[in-house]
């Protein structure tokens, strides 16, 4: 008896690896996000096939952003397709997309993730599966490079991050379309995916041009770069976390801090200051550079102020962090 189409098999394999890697308890529930497009339909089909084998119940959630005429009908059709695939439940959640300074794409994404998170909470789901592919990863990396956002942004999207699983990051968009064709599924084509007003659409077109001009492999190379950079950053983060743990509370010896490689020391500063009471979200590069100058550019400067009402000073060969005096 012939096996499934190679594209179907690829989607199933990656979903199986994601679900087993998440170590979800049998009897639990997973939510699958589905727009009705090829990527999310291929994901839904793979989840419907693999999740029951692991004793997991499945719920498909279709988010209607109400940004296009007929969006309610599109959402209902996607939910019906998910039911037809054998997913345990399928529901539509309607959201209000509030325009924000970061543009409509960001606002829609924020509303969508909030709806999916709420659905996961209502079903006590252990994970939400998203249909991002290797092509989406390459677009994310390209945009990060264009913005000069630094190595953290170049890592792209994580396969597993808290509640969110992205099983198809190792699968191409071509494969998801082939999987849908093999399964006789008719995906919805979102006209927004062809609208050059959206930055991601322009990135998609740029990647297609690069593949033509430079040869095939650009998408795969960008996605592979994300994995490599993520591995390196994970190693650096773990090293810095251990150093910060060993240093403990202030005071901290200047000579020990000075001996650290700069990429490690900057991470250590962030960990030490956060542990001392500085909100992580408020600690910017300017704060890290200023406190680092107490070690690397010492010329007798005064104490420096940090977020959270703290000050950091050097004296007697040590660095001290303490509450800032009330004026």
Annotated binding-site ranges for ATP: 35-40
In sign, the C-alpha dihedral spanning 310, 298, 293, 273 is negative
For 163, the token pair is 């509640």
Phi, psi at residue 218, to the nearest 5°?
A: -65, -45
The CA distance from 119 to 117, in Å, is 5
**What DSSP letter does each residue of 193-262 carry, written as one string?**
GG-TTSHHHHHHHHHHHHHHHH-TTHHHHHHHHHHHHHHHHHHHHHHHHHHHHHH-SSPEEHHHHHTS-H
Phi, psi at residue 31, to the nearest 5°?
A: -105, 135
Give the total residue count for the chain: 327
> Residues 195, 39, 193, CA angle at the centre, nearest 5°?
0
For residue 276, give the 3-state DSSP assignment: helix
Binding site: what residues are annotated?
35-40
For 104, the token pair is 């409509």
**CA diameter of the chain:** 81
For 23, the token pair is 């170590």
Closest CA to 128 of 187, 55, 61: 61
The CA distance from 131 to 190, in Å, is 15
């Amino acid at each position: 008896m012939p096996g499934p189409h190679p594209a179907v098999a690829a989607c199933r394999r990656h979903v199986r690896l994601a679900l087993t890697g998440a170590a979800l308890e049998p009897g639990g529930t997973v939510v699958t996000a589905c727009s009705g497009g090829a990527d999310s339909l291929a994901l839904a089909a793979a989840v419907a096939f693999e999740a029951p084998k692991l004793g997991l119940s499945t719920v498909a959630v279709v988010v209607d952003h109400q940004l296009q005429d007929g969006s309610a009908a599109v959402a209902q059709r996607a939910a019906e397709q998910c039911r037809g695939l054998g997913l345990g439940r399928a529901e539509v959640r309607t959201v209000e997309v509030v325009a924000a300074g970061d543009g409509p794409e960001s606002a829609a994404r924020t509303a969508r993730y909030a709806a999916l998170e709420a659905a996961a909470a209502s079903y006590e789901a252990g994970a939400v599966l998203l249909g991002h592919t290797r092509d989406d990863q390459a677009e994310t990396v390209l945009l990060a490079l264009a913005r000069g956002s630094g190595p953290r942004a170049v890592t792209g999207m994580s396969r597993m991050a808290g509640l969110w699983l992205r099983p198809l990051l190792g699968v191409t968009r071509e494969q998801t379309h082939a999987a849908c064709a093999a399964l006789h599924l008719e995906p919805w084509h979102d006209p927004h995916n062809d609208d050059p007003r959206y930055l991601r659409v322009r990135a998609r077109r740029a990647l297609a041009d690069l593949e033509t001009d430079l040869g095939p492999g650009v998408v795969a190379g960008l996605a592979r770069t994300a994995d490599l950079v993520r591995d390196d950053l994970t190693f650096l983060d773990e090293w810095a976390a251990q150093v910060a743990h060993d240093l403990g509370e202030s005071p901290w010896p200047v000579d020990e801090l000075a001996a650290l490689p700069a990429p490690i020391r900057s991470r250590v500063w962030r960990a030490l200051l956060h542990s001392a009471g500085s909100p992580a979200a408020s600690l910017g590069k300017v704060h890290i550079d200023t406190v680092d100058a107490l070690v690397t550019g010492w010329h007798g400067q005064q104490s420096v102020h940090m977020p959270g009402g703290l000050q950091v000073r050097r004296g007697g060969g040590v660095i001290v962090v303490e509450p800032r005096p009330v004026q």
